[in-house]
Chain A
Amino acid sequence: MLAPPPLPASASAPRAGARAAGTWLAAAAVALLALFPVLVARPYPLHMGVVLFLAVLEAAAWNLVGGIAGQYSVGHAVYFGAGAYAAVMLLERLGIAPWWGIWAAALCAVLLGLVVGTITLRLRGPYFVLASIAAAEVARLAVLHFRAFTHGAQGFVVAEPPVLRLPGLSLTFDGKRPFYYLTLALAVLAVAVNRAVLRSRLGYQLLAVREDQDAAHSLGIRLSLVKNQALAISAALTGVAGAVFAGYSRFIDPDTVFSLTDVSVPMVLYCLAGGAGTVEGPVVGALLLVPVSEALRNPRGLVSLGLLPAGSGVVGFVERHLSQAHQLVYGLLLVLIVLFAPEGVAGLLRRLLRRSRARPRPAPPPA
């Protein structure tokens, strides 16, 4: 069982001043990232951006349920896969463009989330974790089984999405740049949703559920209602991530989009590594882990980014010996984080920052 981290030195709310500074910093970072494709046209860096933003989107989506509400779902691939299949099948079977399909993907994931949540969210601790894994596995097997409808293991090769015509503007989704902006916007949205939830009534109630379900219940919090609300928002974002992934990779099959090891687990790890239950945690975690796994999976990318000289022996070595090692590296990083930074890297940084200006301060003003 993934135990919740021990007590950090302080409570949920950082100081108002630090929070405002963080907001400005985040806005500046997003502005820079938005400018990036204008300055760099090469596809690989843009691809890295898409992968990273998708990871942030998924991690931030998971954070709502796993981080804030403390319900460690290790089966979020069920919503990712449902979103991917919903968008793709609407396009393939009914010719409905992904601009609408993406909403259908979100809706489909939410409905599935309410079904799965109603059944599994009454379980606690390790039982919920196991049930969540089972839900994703059931979905994967169902898609494999109903071949006539889903193409089974064969999957779908996704046709090029039609041009989106808006008044005064037409958007084509070819190449990396549109997906770069789309995933950047969605990642920002997901982080903003986390922030809004954490400041809302629902956020307080979810944090209470995370800390102590019985205490939360005795304080009038309807446990299954608030947990299902969190899961619905989380599933919607995850479903959208799946739909975008399908459009970007142009191919889906059950083993890819319902994968435990490639979808369900990474989003948990990003969150835990960065700092579960915080706004910045999913971002920090994805920034930390995605480059590691990408470098190991595709060392040639380092060459194309100019980080390694062409013909470097490192590329061959990594390809020969470490191409499957990202799982191992994830595992090792997670062990280190649990041992040395149980509240995640974001929490560790915050603690170091606080220590570096350790002087008596008046009690923090209420947020």
Chain B
Amino acid sequence: MALLEIRHLSKFFGGLAANADVSFSVERGTIVGLVGPNGAGKTTLFDCVTGFHRPDRGEVRFRGIRINGLSPARVCRLGLARTWQKVRPLARLSVLDNVVVGALTRTRRVEAARDLAREELRVVGLSDRAGVAAGTLPVGERKKLELARALATGPELLLVDEVLGGLNPTESEEVVEVLLALRASGLTLLVIEHDMRAIMRISDRVVVLDSGEKLAEGTPAEVVEDREVVAAYLGEP
């Protein structure tokens, strides 16, 4: 059984179908890339999976448990964490304390949470920024903080929403390495990304959304050959 199964998921805003009958699954230990033009419904799908939206139709199963309709806190506690495309640092808390907040979902003890948090900061390469107020970080480091904080909750599956956006090539390469290392350590990732070269490089499978519908699914090599995908991105030939 796949770690995450999305079956016939639909979400409407008024008459607009942000997600229309989307089905796919994410196998343990893999990275699945979720791509598509702006407005394709990628972030809406994340919101449906993580409890911020209630799907109108279909179901989401995580570890076999039906999770649509559960609160975001419950979903997180089941082991499904997310990062935000528009980063949401806890601005007046230090970088370390941001991650401690996440870690306190895994342990009740503040001291233990601080140790976990330091470890996650090391993983994403933010250790030297631990004492700084999170609101003062530049965008690249905010993205890394998003990752560290979500990781600190101890997820089995991490949903990553455009963590490479706004990063310079060096930072981008660092974060890609972090994602690959996470997969190597056994974590499963579902990654929204606009950086095509990066997503094709790290993904085991790629799902393409367009106008709320699933357009294609397959290995990166299969997807880039798909004529419909090319059409969605570049227009009809």
Interface, chain A (partner B; CB < 8 A): 7-13, 199-201, 204-205, 207-208, 211-212, 214-223, 363-364, 366
Contact = CB atoms under 8 A, between A and B. Distances in A.
B74 to A, nearest CB: 8
A233 B88 CA distance: 28
Given A218-B50, A219-B153, A12 B93 contact: yes
Contact of A208 (B71, B90, B94, B95): B90
A223 B72 CA distance: 10
Contacts of A223: 73
Interface string B74-118: 001100011010001111111111001110110011100110001
Contacts of B100: 204
A221 B105 contact: yes
Q: Which of A214, A219, A366 has the most CB of B within 10 A?
A: A219
B62 to A, nearest CB: 14
Given A9-B133, A11-B133, A215 B104 contact: no
A211 B91 contact: yes
12 contacts: A10-B133, A11-B131, A11-B134, A201-B109, A204-B104, A211-B89, A211-B90, A214-B72, A217-B52, A219-B76, A219-B81, A222-B71
Contact of B92 (A12, A201, A220): A12
B130 interface: yes
Contact of A11 (B88, B97, B102, B104): B97
A217 B104 contact: no
B82 A218 contact: yes
B89 to A, nearest CB: 8
A199 B110 CA distance: 8
A185 to B, nearest CB: 27
Given A9-B133, A218-B82, A219-B149, 10 more contacts: A11-B94, A11-B134, A12-B97, A199-B110, A204-B113, A207-B92, A208-B93, A217-B73, A221-B101, A363-B131
A217 B92 contact: no
Contacts of B139: none
A12 B94 CA distance: 7
B125 interface: no
Contacts of B136: 7, 9
Nearest to B146: A215
B52 to A, nearest CB: 7
Contacts, number: 111
Interface string B55-75: 000000000000000011100
A220 B82 CA distance: 11
A217 B149 CA distance: 13
B97 A217 contact: no
Contact of A218 (B84, B108, B110, B133): B84
A220 B105 contact: yes
Contacts of B196: none
A34 B104 CA distance: 39
Contacts of B128: 363
B221 to A, nearest CB: 34
B135 A7 contact: yes
A220 B73 contact: yes
B2 interface: no
Interface of B: 50, 52, 71-73, 76-77, 81-82, 84, 88-97, 100-102, 104-105, 108-110, 113-114, 118, 128, 130-136, 149-150, 153
A208 B92 contact: no
Contact of B110 (A200, A212, A215): A200
Q: Which 8 A-B pairs have the closest CB atoms?
A: A11-B94, A220-B105, A220-B76, A211-B90, A215-B88, A217-B72, A363-B131, A208-B101
A12 B92 CA distance: 7
Contact of B77 (A207, A214, A216, A220): A220
A200 B71 CA distance: 24
A8 B133 contact: yes
A67 to B, nearest CB: 12
A205 to B, nearest CB: 7
B104 A212 contact: no
B102 A219 contact: yes
A216 B93 CA distance: 13
A297 to B, nearest CB: 35
Contact of B153 (A11, A214, A220): A220
Contacts of B82: 218
Contact of A366 (B88, B93, B101, B130): B130
B193 to A, nearest CB: 19
Nearest to A201: B104
A11 B132 contact: yes
Contacts of B88: 212, 214-215
B15 to A, nearest CB: 26
A213 B96 CA distance: 18
Given A204-B110, A212-B90, A219-B149, A366 B73 contact: no
Given A204-B104, A219-B101, A366-B114, A11 B93 contact: yes
B101 A218 contact: no
Contacts of A217: 52, 71-73, 76
Q: Which of A9, A11, A223 has the most CB of B within 10 A?
A: A11
Nearest to A7: B135
A37 to B, nearest CB: 38
A210 B164 CA distance: 27
B85 to A, nearest CB: 12
Nearest to B50: A218
Contacts of A204: 97, 100-101, 104, 110, 113
A220 B225 CA distance: 40
